[in-house]
Structure 1
Amino acid sequence: MAGVVDDQANTVFVGGGGPGHASAQSLLLKYANRHGLIAGATGTGKTVTLQTLAESLSLAGVPVFLSDVKGDLAGLSRPGAADGPLHGPFSERAAQIGLDLDYQAFPVTFWDVWGQAGHPVRTTPADMGPLLLSRLMGLTDAQEGVMNIAFRVADEQGLALLDLKDLQAMLVWVGQNAADLSLKYGNVSPASVGAIQRALLVLENQGGDRLFGEPALELSDIIRQDASGKGMINILAADRLMQSPRLYATFLLWLLSELFEQLPEVGDPDRPRIAFFFDEAHLLFDDAPKALIDKVEQVARLIRSKGVSVWFISQNPADIPDAVLGQLGNRIQHALRAFTAKDQKALRMAAENYRANPDFDTAQAIQQVGTGEAVTSLLEAKGVPGIAQRTLIRPPFSRIGPVNDAERAQVMDASPMALKYGQALDRESAHEILARRAAEAAKASETDALFDMTRSEYRNARRYQPRAEAGEQGEGGRPARGRASRSDSIVETFGKSLARQLGTKSGQAIVRGVLGSLFRGR
Structure 2
Amino acid sequence: MGGGGEGYGQPQSLRLDHGNRHGLIAGATGTGKTVTLQVMAQGFSDAGVPVFLSDVKGDLSGLALPGSAEGKLHGAFTKRAETIGLDLAYSGAPVTFWDIYGEQGHPVRSTVAEMGPLLLSRLLELTDPQEGVMNVAFRLADDEALPILDLKDLRAMLTFIAENATEISAKYGLVSTSSIGAIQRRLLVLENQGGEKMFGEPALALSDMMLTDPQGRGRINILAADKLMAAPRLYSTFLLWLLSELFEELPEVGNPEKPKLVFFFDEAHLLFDGAPKALTDKVEQVVRLIRSKGVGVYFITQKPADVPDDVLAQLGNRVQHALRVFTPRDQRDLRLAAQTYRENPRFSTEEAIKEVGTGEALTSFLEAKGIPGIVERTLIRPPSSHLGPIEPGVRAALIAGSPLAGKYEAVIDRESAYERLAARAEAAAREAAKTEAEEAKAQQNARESENDAREFRNARRYDGGMPARKTSPSRRRSGSSDSVGEAFAKSFARQLGTRGGQAIMRGILGSLFKKR
**TM-score, with normalisation over the residues of structure 2?**
0.88
Fraction of identical pairs, as percent: 62
1:158 shift after superposition = 1.2
Distance 1:218 1:423 in 2: 15
Aligned to 1:469: 459
1:23 shift after superposition = 2.1
Distance 1:144 1:77 in 2: 42
Counterpart selection for 1:92 from 67, 79, 87: 79
Distance 1:188 1:369 in 2: 56
Aligned to 1:447: 434
Distance 1:98 1:263 in 2: 40
Aligned to 2:193: 206
Distance 1:312 1:471 in 2: 101
Structure 1, unaligned runs of 5 or more = 1-13, 480-485, 488-503, 505-522
Structure 2, unaligned runs of 5 or more = 467-472, 475-496, 498-516
Distance 2:85 2:348 in 1: 26
Distance 1:262 1:101 in 2: 39
Aligned length: 469
Counterpart selection for 2:420 from 420, 433, 439: 433
1:156–1:100: structure 2 CA closer, same or farther, 3 Å change rule? same
User: Aligned AA for 2:168?
Assistant: L
Q: Per the alignment, in what secondary structure is the counterpart of residue 407 of structure 2? A: helix
Q: Per the alignment, in what secondary structure is the counterpart of residue 291 of structure 2? A: helix
Q: Does 1:316 align with 2:306?
A: no
Q: Map 1:68-467 onto structure 2 (within 5 A).
A: 68-463=55-450, 465-466=453-454, 467=457
Q: Per the alignment, in what secondary structure is the counterpart of residue 26 of structure 1? A: coil
1:306–1:471: structure 2 CA closer, same or farther, 3 Å change rule? closer
User: Aligned AA for 1:469?
Assistant: A
Aligned to 1:15: 2
1:472 shift after superposition = 7.7
Distance 2:87 2:399 in 1: 30
Q: Per the alignment, in what secondary structure is the counterpart of residue 257 of structure 1? A: helix
How big is each residue's C-alpha offset from its partner over 1:214-233, in whole Å with a ceiling of 9 and x where there is no partner?
11011000111001000000
Q: Per the alignment, in what secondary structure is the counterpart of residue 395 of structure 1? A: coil
User: Aligned AA for 1:129?
Assistant: G
Distance 2:394 2:365 in 1: 36
Preserved contact between residue 69 and residue 242 of structure 1 (Cα < 8 Å): yes
Distance 1:188 1:42 in 2: 46
Distance 1:230 1:136 in 2: 35
1:459 shift after superposition = 2.4
Distance 2:405 2:149 in 1: 21
Aligned to 1:31: 18
1:478 shift after superposition = 8.2
1:454 shift after superposition = 2.1
Distance 1:42 1:193 in 2: 41
Distance 1:410 1:78 in 2: 12
Q: Per the alignment, in what secondary structure is the counterpart of residue 14 of structure 2? A: strand
Q: Per the alignment, in what secondary structure is the counterpart of residue 256 of structure 2? A: coil
How big is each residue's C-alpha offset from its partner over 1:393-443, in whole Å with a ceiling of 9 and x where there is no partner?
110000100011111111101012221011111111111111111011011
1:471 shift after superposition = 8.0
User: Aligned AA for 2:119?
Assistant: L
Counterpart selection for 2:28 from 41, 46, 53: 41
Preserved contact between residue 23 and residue 97 of structure 1 (Cα < 8 Å): no
Distance 1:186 1:23 in 2: 63
Q: Per the alignment, in what secondary structure is the counterpart of residue 96 of structure 2? A: strand
1:82 shift after superposition = 1.8
User: Aligned AA for 2:459?
Assistant: E
Q: Per the alignment, in what secondary structure is the counterpart of residue 194 of structure 2? A: helix
How big is each residue's C-alpha offset from its partner over 1:244-293, in whole Å with a ceiling of 9 and x where there is no partner?
00000000000000000000000111111000000000000001111110
1:460 shift after superposition = 3.6
Distance 1:328 1:84 in 2: 34
1:19 shift after superposition = 1.1
User: Aligned AA for 1:149?
Assistant: V
Distance 1:424 1:453 in 2: 46
Q: Quick check: 448-457 or 351-360, which moved more?
A: 448-457
Q: Per the alignment, in what secondary structure is the counterpart of residue 71 of structure 2? A: coil
1:468 shift after superposition = 4.8
Distance 2:405 2:120 in 1: 28
1:294 shift after superposition = 0.4
Q: Does 1:51 align with 2:41?
A: no
Distance 1:259 1:161 in 2: 21
Distance 2:155 2:334 in 1: 47
1:463 shift after superposition = 3.7
Preserved contact between residue 35 and residue 329 of structure 1 (Cα < 8 Å): yes
Q: Per the alignment, in what secondary structure is the counterpart of residue 269 of structure 1? A: coil
Distance 1:365 1:24 in 2: 17
**TM-score, with normalisation over the residues of structure 1?**
0.87
Distance 1:230 1:194 in 2: 50
Distance 2:288 2:106 in 1: 31
